[in-house]
Amino acid sequence: MRAVVTGGAGFIGSHFCGRLLEAGYGDVVCVDNFVTGSPENVAHLMRHEGFRLVGCDVTHGLEVEGPVDAVLHFASPASPVDYLRHPLATLRVGAEGTRHALELAAAHGARFVLASTSETYGDPQVHPQPESYWGNVNPVGPRSCYDEAKRYAEALTMAYRRSRGADTGIVRIFNTFGPRMRPGDGRVVPTLIRQALEGAPMTVTGDGSQTRSLCFVDDLVDGVLRMLSASIGGPVNLGNPHEVTMLELAHWIRRLTGSRSEIVMVPLPTDDPKRRRPDISLARRELGWEPWTSVEDGLLRTIEWFADRRERVSSLTDVPAPASHRSGLAVS
């Protein structure tokens, strides 16, 4: 079995590449332009003879010679810090990057899975969010480059499924955390852990009452793998229904790290969702999936990973410089 993973050197993509090799895929092609991903995330896989890392921007093309059994499209900035810094690139990878990945899958008769997001629900007015909810997205706000890119990617994926009979699936990923997150990527868990370990003020946006539902990365990857093996089109929510306020999360992380950091409030970003919790009834029924790692256990494992790498934090906080990626990929 041979799989192509776009965005494979990113946080979730790198974990998924490893899981595919463990699941028996003999050849995993990891594609990344390293705008937010890093070769370091997959360095431990390089000794595996079936793993290949290719620097490429999929918005310019994606061609792979030989058999392809699965295409997993994870490529996209996913943190607000990143997609606000790269709004046009985010829109392009959601549009042209998705189209090229779909074309590759369709040409080879491969199963295609799109990594979409809970951000397609925007600032939801329905709680918890089922897949049938159409969302409440500001199409012209600063976050729209990511939200609308993923919504378009979903529409494109369904168009290929309906009009061309492509074997496609969509997963909507809710807030996921774990090892290999960049300390400076702006998402709440790495930000609070980094601040707590450094003894710096721990920043909570707004009044801290807004909620998120946090899923440990190992659990999320298992859900994606089950979607890859299924035949349903989705979308299917993948996330942890355990809902926590941001202020509660800050106190939780401070306790687990033993930090004495002060918790301070900062302004709430524009269009920041007030509540976020997945309805995972469909995932339970169709995939037999639900998360098994408690949030606390996941936080402890993530804190341990960050603590072990504190000496390298300063070199990881900046977004890696993109590699040359003017052309698409042709792999034999």
Could you tell me the residue range of the domain that residue 24 belongs to?
2-331
Mean model confidence pLDDT for the chain: 92
Percent of the chain with pLDDT over 90: 88
The mean per-residue pLDDT over the stretch 233-251 comes to 97
State the pLDDT confidence band at 332, using cuts at 50, 70 and 90: very low
Catalytic pick among 83, 121, 146, 160 = 146
Percent of the chain with pLDDT over 70: 93
* Distances from the Cα of 44 to the Cα of 18, 29, 48, 191, 314, angstroms: 9, 15, 8, 25, 21
Q: How many CA atoms does the CB half-sphere of 271 hold within 13 Å?
A: 18
pLDDT at 91 over 50: yes
Provide the pLDDT for residue 311.
60
Give the pLDDT confidence of 289-298 residue by residue, as tens digits. 999 999 999 9
State the pLDDT confidence band at 105, using cuts at 50, 70 and 90: very high
The mean per-residue pLDDT over the stretch 133-148 comes to 95
**CA gap 168, 72 in Å, rounded:** 10
Q: Answer whether 242's CB lies under 8 Å from 295's CB.
A: yes
Q: Answer whether 179's CB lies under 8 Å from 122's CB.
A: no
Provide the pLDDT for residue 270.
86
Provide the pLDDT for residue 327.
40
Q: Which residues contact 218 (CB under 8 A, 6 or more apart)?
A: 15, 178, 293
pLDDT at 315 over 50: no
State the pLDDT confidence band at 312, using cuts at 50, 70 and 90: low
Provide the pLDDT for residue 72.
98
Q: Answer whether 17's CB lies under 8 Å from 45's CB.
A: yes
Provide the pLDDT for residue 331.
47
Provide the pLDDT for residue 76.
97
Provide the pLDDT for residue 323.
40
Could you tell me the sign of the dihedral formed by the alpha carbons of 255, 261, 267, 272, in that order? negative
Residue 192, helix vs strand vs coil: helix
The mean per-residue pLDDT over the stretch 229-255 comes to 97
Establish whether 83 is a catalytic residue: no
The mean per-residue pLDDT over the stretch 196-216 comes to 95
pLDDT at 329 over 60: no
CATH number, domain of 193, equals 3.40.50.720
Residue with structure tokens 């408690």? 294
Q: Quote the number of domains for the chain.
A: 1
**CA gap 37, 168 in Å, rounded:** 25
Q: Name the least confident of 235-239, 258-262, 311-315.
A: 311-315
pTM above 0.85, yes or no: yes
The mean per-residue pLDDT over the stretch 311-331 comes to 44
